[in-house]
Amino acid sequence: MLFLWLYMFYSCAGSCAGLTARGSPAPPRAAPPLPPLLPGEPSEESSLEEQRAAADAGSPISSFFNSSGTKRLPQAIIIGVKKGGTRALLEFLRVHPDVRAVGAEPHFFDRNYERGLAWYRDLMPKTLEGQITMEKTPSYFVTKEAPARIASMSKGTKLIVVVRDPVTRAISDYTQTLSKKPDIPTFESLTFKNRTTGLIDTSWSAIQIGIYAKHLENWLLYFPIGQILFVSGERLISDPAGELGRVQDFLGLKRIVTDKHFYFNKTKGFPCLKKAEGSSKPHCLGKTKGRTHPDIDQEVVQRLRDFYRPFNMKFYQMTGQDFGWD
């Protein structure tokens, strides 16, 4: 009997330690703080540490996926273009449960290539079987070395280009620079090498990026046209669900992101998510998006339209899509 009593006493010592009094349960432990529902919009120039944080931090759903899975090189990359709508596309795609993407722009194939693929892979979020790893860096589209470098990583990489009326895109590009450097010359003065002769300064990046046909020729040396999806920046605003449907088809994903995920924000002038990744709250892109453009001399705008027209026509022929910019 004494032996049985001692056995029961020592057995209870571990399992009964949670009782504060006879028959009374221990008070519940304080729950650990939840991670933020949605990570903040990363800056365009992010440090290595910030990029890794963007890959590994985030919503409860993201945290769950990151607790398991494997870091993989991206199977799809949004390669361009700057001020075309790439951030909006990435945020919309991240709602899809089978898409895992880096929040910051890695700039691997243009600025950090010497760091190696192991460094690049380490920036990626962990994915489970069947999920797609993605990243977006809009400057890739205009970087001469980028196509060969991506093809060297994987010739099967799917590429996405978000394009926008090149005149509107140039003005948006200038507006972004103006917000950071208020003392820069006027848009009109930067547009021309010589305004009297009307010669356009194609060395200015805001103009040069919009010559889409020229940049695309470089990509077609390494990738077939069918491996590149061209998303309309205008339709991404007017019909986000329609464009997202095309993107999901291109990536081989089920059409989960639909019109039920969007609402149009009249104040900002573009669509926002009703529920962002891992959140129950609406989410719009930050204050750096949807800036009010300065008034530009309409004669200059028309000269730019005339300049871009032949390049646009060639781009339509190359892609088999008429984007309606003229």
Q: Which residues are annotated as a binding site for 3'-phosphoadenylyl sulfate?
A: 83-87, 164, 172, 289-293
Please name the residues in contact with 214: beta carbons below 8 A apart, sequence gap of 6 or more: 311
- Contacts of residue 52, defined as CB under 8 A and 6 or more positions apart, other chains included, come to 122, 123
Numbered residues of the known binding site: 83-87, 164, 172, 289-293
Q: How many CB atoms lie within 10 A of CB 143?
A: 19
Q: Are strands 24-25 and 19-21 parallel, antiparallel or unpaired?
A: antiparallel
Please, where are the H alpha helices in the chain? 2-15, 48-56, 60-66, 86-93, 117-123, 146-153, 166-180, 187-191, 205-208, 212-219, 233-238, 240-250, 298-319
Beta strand 99-101 pairing with 132-136: parallel
Q: How many angstroms separate the CA atoms of 206 and 167, rounded?
A: 9
Q: Which residues are catalytic?
A: 83
Residue 206 three-state SS: helix
Q: Report which of 190, 183, 166 is spatially closest to residue 308, judged by C-alpha positions.
A: 166
